[in-house]
Amino acid sequence: MAKQLEGKVAAVTGAASGIGLASSEAMLAAGAHVVMVDRDAAALQAIAGRHGDAVIPLVIDLLDPKACATLLPKILEQAGQLDILHANAGIYVGGDLVDADSSAIDRMLNLNVNVVMKNVHDVLPHMIARGTGDIIVTSSLAAHFPTPWEPVYASSKWAINCFVQTVRRQVFRHGIRVGSVSPGPVISALLADWPAEKLAEAKAAGSLLEASEVAEVVMFMLTRPRGMTIRDVVMLPTNFDL
């Protein structure tokens, strides 16, 4: 891949695995320095060991409000600037609402909605001052379809989809592009709550995406000419609608 992101600094949340890891590695391959944000210090150190100085590991528990507020200051301290934020961290709660644990609902809404809003809020002044920036949020196919087996998760993604579209309209005049990628089911830890038989059936039917495929779409969005915003990409396995 050409070094299309040479000289750029990106930050990716939930970067130690799944879509976050794939997105980070795609940006690294394109020449960016990547601040990889996650709670898993050991995983981040292992990734940094593979990729060298282009990776800046940043251990933050985004569900801790005080720690979450340190995201941009720590990025600027270690990298000096921020060109790209991929707000990717998220968790999944599926199944019937009546069976859901209320503390799990709180945790999921905090990470999937509140943390994303706070992270974007915190980086915007820096990007506005520089007159440029890209913000991409990992959303979900569930943001576009009232998925009956995941009302809590789908609701969080409907909320964040609205957030992306409204913030985009506020900040485009500052040279900042805001968009989201909305994949269907991706082979990642996010599917850990799926019933084993449902996961096996989906794999056998070719109804799951790879994280690397999502990362390719993220790179497509980031590398469009500055006058073009890809506001949302919905991607799903071809067999998923069968």
Active-site residue (options: 92, 153, 163, 194): 153
Whole-angstrom Cα distance, residue 18 to residue 132? Answer: 28
Whole-angstrom Cα distance, residue 25 to residue 29? Answer: 6
Residues 6+ apart with CB under 8 A from 79: 9, 33, 35, 56
**Integer angstrom CA distances of residue 31 from 35, 68, 71, 89:** 13, 27, 22, 23
- 25-29, 58-62, 200-204: which range is least confident on average? 200-204
Q: Which residue has the higher pLDDT, 220 or 184?
A: 220
- How much is the pLDDT for 194? 66
Residues in the chain: 242
C-beta separation of 10 from 35 below 8 A: yes
- How much is the pLDDT for 184? 87
Would you say residue 60 has pLDDT above 80? yes
pLDDT digits 0-9 by tens, 188-201: 666 666 667 776 77
AA identity, residue 191 = L
- How much is the pLDDT for 189? 64
Whole-angstrom Cα distance, residue 9 to residue 134? Answer: 11
Percentage of the chain beyond pLDDT 90 is 81
User: Facing residues of 176 across strands?
Assistant: 133
Look up the pTM and report it: 0.92
Residue ranges and CATH numbers for the domains of the chain are 9-233 (3.40.50.720)
For this structure, is 92 an active site residue? no
Percentage of the chain beyond pLDDT 70 is 95
Whole-angstrom Cα distance, residue 195 to residue 203? Answer: 13
pLDDT digits 0-9 by tens, 162-182: 999 999 999 999 999 999 999
- Measured N-to-C along each axis, helices 116-130 and 151-171 cross at an angle, to the nearest 10 degrees, of 20
- How much is the pLDDT for 193? 63
Whole-angstrom Cα distance, residue 198 to residue 122? Answer: 39
pLDDT digits 0-9 by tens, 110-151: 999 999 999 999 999 999 999 999 999 999 999 998 888 889
Whole-angstrom Cα distance, residue 68 to residue 111? Answer: 11
For tokens 């830890």, the residue is 189
Whole-angstrom Cα distance, residue 122 to residue 70? Answer: 9
Q: How far is CA 236 from the centre of its chain?
A: 16
- Predicted confidence band of residue 241 (pLDDT cuts 50, 70, 90): low
Whole-angstrom Cα distance, residue 16 to residue 8? Answer: 20
- How much is the pLDDT for 1? 47
